[in-house]
């Protein structure tokens, strides 16, 4: 085979297009160089990518970040963010052997212990509750100890504490924060254990507690897991079903296409949330059913986009060229059409996840879909609705979380669209 010698091969004009430049450097440098090429879009995508990664990490390892379990009743109810919980502690003389309330239990017949409380403060109620429950516990034990303290009320904190020093009472029960405040004045006294067994976290509960005493922050972080699972699963299922159908409908055409499009368009025309409600109502509450319901909602989205892309790619000359070299239909679909259609799908996936999360939250807000035992933002929103005036933090933080995650995924999807679709990009 003779070479064409007389004419040197065409010297490729130095390809100064940025696409070519980018190919020449490594991946990391590519990302950093990209900042110069894409400008604002790069920031858009980077910031949202960081947010998305953060959400996913939290969703994968909520236990690492959440101080408490989402179901545990860890604090007093309706605690505002940052507010220290009021924990009543037992105040005793420094040399006393008593530490907890239970220590004060005595056998039957012994004189009843007396405990001082400050007048007007609800610690008396807590004291009574605790004493009673301990009493019920101890009297059934072999030693048969009883705890029925006599409660002495004093007008001020100082008087209450003084009574302990004077010996008028065996112990006092006051708020630990109050005691901390005046402990310098009473060097002979010390604080024992909390009478309710609660412990204070440093700084209290960062985002407060809800109506039954659960930590809002922990529920928020654990709720991320549910949101991400629903968002990704529903989108993936919709993609796995919608994309092949769209490909086939676009490629085959004819009555198959018309029939399928009819079904899909009908589904698409249906208001999303209502359809999801109907499906979950029929299937019953469970996370799987929520995923199914939401994915049905989004199958038409992927179908339509893929079908449209397939129809236009089908008309491209390189597809005709593939036919001219004798490729079979399936081969053409696999090698020539599918790879050129899929980028558009990848981009809408991100926005789709955001949408799915929103729909999922909407469903649980309405009380459908998820069983109430699972920590979920939507459920929290619904619960917090009643207390919006008194405990605004119950609804605000889940709401903010939903907003942020939807923003993150949407921003990333939009940013990627701008980068990969240069026709839409402003010059």
Q: Find out whether 150 and 114 touch, Cβ atoms under 8 Å.
A: yes
CB contact burial 241-250 (16+ within 10 A = b; e otherwise) = bbbebbbbbb
Position 255 contacts another protein (CB under 8 A):
no
Candidate residues 140, 255, 324, 373; the one interacting with another protein per rule CB under 8 A: 324
Taking the complex as a whole, the smallest distance from the CB of residue 316 to another protein amounts, in Å, to 6
Taking the complex as a whole, the smallest distance from the CB of residue 308 to another protein amounts, in Å, to 18
Taking the complex as a whole, the smallest distance from the CB of residue 360 to another protein amounts, in Å, to 34
Candidate residues 136, 185, 323, 390; the one interacting with another protein per rule CB under 8 A: 323
Candidate residues 288, 321, 403, 404; the one interacting with another protein per rule CB under 8 A: 321
Q: Find out whether 247 and 310 touch, Cβ atoms under 8 Å.
A: yes
Taking the complex as a whole, the smallest distance from the CB of residue 302 to another protein amounts, in Å, to 20
By CB under 8 A, the residues from 12 to 41 that bind another protein are 12-21, 23, 36-37
Nearer to another protein, 24 or 94 (CB): 24
Position 340 contacts another protein (CB under 8 A):
yes
* Spatial separation of the C-alpha atoms in residues 306 and 43, rounded to whole Å: 29
Candidate residues 50, 240, 335, 388; the one interacting with another protein per rule CB under 8 A: 335
Taking the complex as a whole, the smallest distance from the CB of residue 419 to another protein amounts, in Å, to 12
Taking the complex as a whole, the smallest distance from the CB of residue 415 to another protein amounts, in Å, to 17
Position 95 contacts another protein (CB under 8 A):
no
User: Nearest Cα to 354, choosing from 262, 235, 241?
Assistant: 235
Position 344 contacts another protein (CB under 8 A):
no
Span from 68-76, 169-177, 210-218, 320-328 in contact with another protein (CB under 8 A):
320-328
Position 420 contacts another protein (CB under 8 A):
no
Position 336 contacts another protein (CB under 8 A):
yes
Position 419 contacts another protein (CB under 8 A):
no
Span from 89-97, 136-144, 335-343, 393-401 in contact with another protein (CB under 8 A):
335-343
The full DSSP string for 406-418 is HHHHHHHHHHHHH
By CB under 8 A, the residues from 260 to 319 that bind another protein are 316-318
E strands, 139-197, are: 145-146, 150-154, 171-175, 189-194
* Spatial separation of the C-alpha atoms in residues 10 and 8, rounded to whole Å: 6
Distance of CA 254 to the CA centre of its chain: 45
Q: Which helix (H) or strand (E) holds 163?
A: helix 157-166
Q: Find out whether 248 and 338 touch, Cβ atoms under 8 Å.
A: no
User: Nearest Cα to 295, choosing from 235, 353, 244?
Assistant: 235
The full DSSP string for 36-98 is HHHTHHHHHHHHHHHHHHHHHHHHH-HHHH-SS-SS---S-TTPPTTPPP--EEEEEETT---
Nearer to another protein, 27 or 282 (CB): 27
Residues 6+ apart with CB under 8 A from 418: 38, 41, 44, 424, 425
Candidate residues 339, 367, 371, 372; the one interacting with another protein per rule CB under 8 A: 339
Position 109 contacts another protein (CB under 8 A):
no
Question: Which residues contribute to the site for another protein (CB under 8 A)?
Answer: 1-4, 7-21, 23, 36-37, 316-318, 320-328, 331, 335-336, 339-340, 427
């Amino acid at each position: 085979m003779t070479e064409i010698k007389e004419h040197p091969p065409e010297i490729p004009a130095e390809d100064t297009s940025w696409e070519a430049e980018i190919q020449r450097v490594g991946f990391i440098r590519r990302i950093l160089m990209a900042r110069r090429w894409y400008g604002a879009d790069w920031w858009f995508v980077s910031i949202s990518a960081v947010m998305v990664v953060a959400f996913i990490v939290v969703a994968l390892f909520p236990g690492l970040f959440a101080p408490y379990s989402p179901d545990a009743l860890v604090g007093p109810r309706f605690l505002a963010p940052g507010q220290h919980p009021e924990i009543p502690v037992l105040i005793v003389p420094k040399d006393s052997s008593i530490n907890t309330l239970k220590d004060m239990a005595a056998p039957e017949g012994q004189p009843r212990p007396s405990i001082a409380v400050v007048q007007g403060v609800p610690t008396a109620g807590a004291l009574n509750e605790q004493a009673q429950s301990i009493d019920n516990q101890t009297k059934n034990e072999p030693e048969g100890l009883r705890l029925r303290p006599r409660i002495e009320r004093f007008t001020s904190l100082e008087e209450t504490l003084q009574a302990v020093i004077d010996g008028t009472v065996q112990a006092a029960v006051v708020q630990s924060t109050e005691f901390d405040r005046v402990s310098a004045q009473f060097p002979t006294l010390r604080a024992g254990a909390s009478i309710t067994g609660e412990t204070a976290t440093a700084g209290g509960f960062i985002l407060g507690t809800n109506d039954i005493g659960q930590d809002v922050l922990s529920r928020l972080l654990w709720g991320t897991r549910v949101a991400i699972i629903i968002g990704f699963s529903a989108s993936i299922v919709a993609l796995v079903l919608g994309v092949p159908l769209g490909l086939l409908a676009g490629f085959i055409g004819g009555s198959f296409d018309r029939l399928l499009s009819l079904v899909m368009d009908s589904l698409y025309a249906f208001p999303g949330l209502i359809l999801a409600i109907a499906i979950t109502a029929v299937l019953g509450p469970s996370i799987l059913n929520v995923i199914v319901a939401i994915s049905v909602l989004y199958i038409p989205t992927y179908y339509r986009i893929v079908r449209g892309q397939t129809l236009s790619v089908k008309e491209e000359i390189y597809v005709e060229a593939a036919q001219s070299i004798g490729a079979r239909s399936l081969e053409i679909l696999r090698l020539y059409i599918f790879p050129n259609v899929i980028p558009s799908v990848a981009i809408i996936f991100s926005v789709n996840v955001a949408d799915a999360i929103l729909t999922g939250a909407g469903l649980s807000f309405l009380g459908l879909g998820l069983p109430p035992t699972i920590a979920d933002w939507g459920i929290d929103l619904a619960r917090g609705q009643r207390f919006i005036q008194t405990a605004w933090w119950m609804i605000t933080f889940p709401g903010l979380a939903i907003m942020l995650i939807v923003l993150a995924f949407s921003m990333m999807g939009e940013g990627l669209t701008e980068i990969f679709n240069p026709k839409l990009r402003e010059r």
